[in-house]
Amino acid sequence: MATDNEIMYAMMNGISFGGAKKEKKENPNKVKTKAKIKSYKTGAHGSGAAKHKAEIKKRVQNRPSQRKG
């Protein structure tokens, strides 16, 4: 059971339930790469789904109702 001093300390200062902070393990040899958004939109990264979506988007843009002018 807690002593009177511990209870008084908890009432005055509050109780922190946060866990201990973990150290980040950074690997200096790790290569950080981020694919370009444009390559995903145009399907250039090789995904069949992205190529299909890019083809549909191209067809929509080429519709007469979508052209400006």
User: If the chain, 69 residues long, is cut into consecutive pieces of 10 residues, what is the mean pLDDT of each piece?
Assistant: 88 83 72 63 72 87 78
The number of beta carbons lying within 10 Å of the beta carbon of residue 41 is 13
In the prediction, which pLDDT does 61 show? Answer: 87
**Of the candidates 45, 69, 35, 42, which has an alpha carbon nearest to the alpha carbon of residue 57?**
42
User: How far is it, in rounded angstroms, from Cα 17 to Cα 14?
Assistant: 10
In the prediction, which pLDDT does 4 show? Answer: 92
User: How far is it, in rounded angstroms, from Cα 64 to Cα 37?
Assistant: 27
